[in-house]
Amino acid sequence: MKLLIEHLEKHFEKKEVLRDITFSFESGKIYGLLGRNGAGKTTLFNCLNRDLKPDGGTFWLEENGERREVKAEDIGYVLSTPTVPEFLTGREFLKFFMEINQDSIPDPKPLDDYFSYMGIDSEDRDKLLKDYSHGMKNKMQMLVNIIAQPPVLLLDEPLTSLDVVVAEEMKQLLRSLKEGRITIFSTHILDLALDLCDAIVLLSHGILEVVDKTNLDSQEFKEKILEALREEGQEACHA
């Protein structure tokens, strides 16, 4: 399976955020979408999720050589700031999600199995979500996407605010889930992208560019990316 993007554009008044995004993402890989804050990573995700209407271009899913339209259920979107219904308990939220999606969830399991899978302790499962930590809310947001099993998973800097232990748990989880799925992990942290991702894609000047990972540990490789990000930042300052 592939996610094909062709000549995608998005601008806000005179600011051209996405100039000409053309790329092919393949299943079974975690792609690191690397770019400075404000480079357009979230804008790209919002276009793919259809929260924003692109000003040009299009995108499809390709399966067995045939292209088809990307549907809402094809996309899982994990935000950097978790959005959960804080008036519900963790169990109530998960039960509600399972009920409204019962026709599309393959091989549903008992709720406690899911909680255990995400490492959410028994005493926390019946707490209100408003009393969950940032990391626990993030786990709940990730959990519903794991249950739904969308073919495309968009992760918008989901590890930035997590403590070291939770962040490492989430990285291990993402590695275990990548087969059969297109995972695009947005970040502005180079070392995180190098540690987690199979491929690095640089969003700079409104276009996507694959960065060769042959020499992952070389200083020259890191300097190439950092220089591109510096140039992007300087342009933004002068805009």
Residue 236 pLDDT > 50 = no
Q: What is the pLDDT of residue 239?
A: 46
Distance of CA 106 to the CA centre of its chain: 22
* 67-99 pLDDT per residue, tens: 999 998 899 998 878 889 999 999 999 999 999
Residues 6+ apart with CB under 8 A from 122: 112, 115
Record the pTM: 0.85
- Give the Cα separation of 5 and 19 in Å (integer): 13
Residue in 66, 67, 43, 32 with CA at minimum distance from that of residue 187: 32
Residue 102 pLDDT > 90 = no
- Residue reference for tokens 């695009």: 184
Cβ neighbour number for residue 110 with a 10 Å cutoff: 9
Distance of CA 117 to the CA centre of its chain: 20
Structural domains present in the chain: 2-84+151-238 (3.40.50.300)
* 150-192 pLDDT per residue, tens: 999 999 987 766 677 778 888 888 898 899 999 999 988 888 8
